[in-house]
Amino acid sequence: MKRSTIILLAVLGIAVVYGISLFNRVKTAGVAVDEQWAMVQSAYQARADKSKNLVEIIKGSAEFENSTLREVVEARAKATSITLSGDDLTPEKLAAFEQAQSQFTGALSRLMATVEQYPTLQTTSAFREFQAQYEGMENRIKTERDRFSSSVAAYNRLIVTFPGNLFASIFGFKEKTGFTASPGSENAPDIKF
């Protein structure tokens, strides 16, 4: 064989091996994005499940604004009705998911503010325990969302940088969308009594 043919075959061999390696890395990163999205949904579901118990505790502990309880129940139902898979991570669907979760968070925040006005609820040990758990749930959601955004960034880096972008276009890999803050979230919430 000619030396130029050997060199050409070697270059092609290296390109094929690199392409296969990149394909596997991108697929693995895509699986990591889907897996992390499942963790985000799990954190939201845990909050929804525990909030159901909160409503029952508060109903048994005191009578107070039915509209606040109704908002929590309705917001919880809406928040748990929207589900996304790794293939549905479009900006529009993430925005709808985040809006439902934001409404749920707002309803729970109003509930917590209302509860501060009722000393009988402050003395309920189950409610105090829930308050501590609620803070932990919100921290877990934030952690899982941050991890999701990191996994999306790692995936996107693989397919937008050279030479990965060349192979990504050949294999049809598309960028994934991570979380963005809800409009107005940069402002502290107003708690009104």
- Express each pLDDT in 123-148 by its tens digit: 566 677 777 888 888 888 889 989 99
Evaluate if residue 12 carries a pLDDT over 90.
Answer: yes
Collapsing DSSP states into helix, strand and coil, what is residue 83?
coil
The pLDDT-based confidence of 56 (bands split at 50, 70, 90) is: confident
Pairwise CA distance, residues 53 & 59, whole Å? 10
Evaluate if residue 193 carries a pLDDT over 50.
Answer: no
pLDDT given for residue 117 in this prediction = 61
Question: Which residue in the block uniquely carries the two structure tokens 């525990």?
Answer: 50
Task: Sketch out the chain's domains with CATH numbers.
Answer: 10-171 (1.20.1440.20)
Q: Is the pTM of this model over 0.75?
A: no
Q: Alpha carbon 170 to chain centroid distance?
A: 29
Asked if 114 contacts 64 with a C-beta cutoff of 8 angstroms, the reply is: yes
Task: State both tokens at 47.
Answer: 């909050």
Among 97, 106, 107, which residue's Cα sits nearest to residue 180? 97
Helices 164-171, 3-61: inter-axial angle, 10-degree rounding: 80
Please state which of the ranges 78-87, 91-100, 159-168 shows the lowest mean pLDDT. 78-87
Among 76, 63, 135, which residue's Cα sits nearest to residue 103? 76
Task: State both tokens at 43.
Answer: 């954190």
Please provide the average confidence, as pLDDT, over all residues in the chain: 80
Residue 145: CA atoms inside 13 Å, Cβ hemisphere, count?
A: 14
More confident residue, 45 or 88: 45
Pairwise CA distance, residues 176 & 89, whole Å? 7
The pLDDT-based confidence of 9 (bands split at 50, 70, 90) is: very high
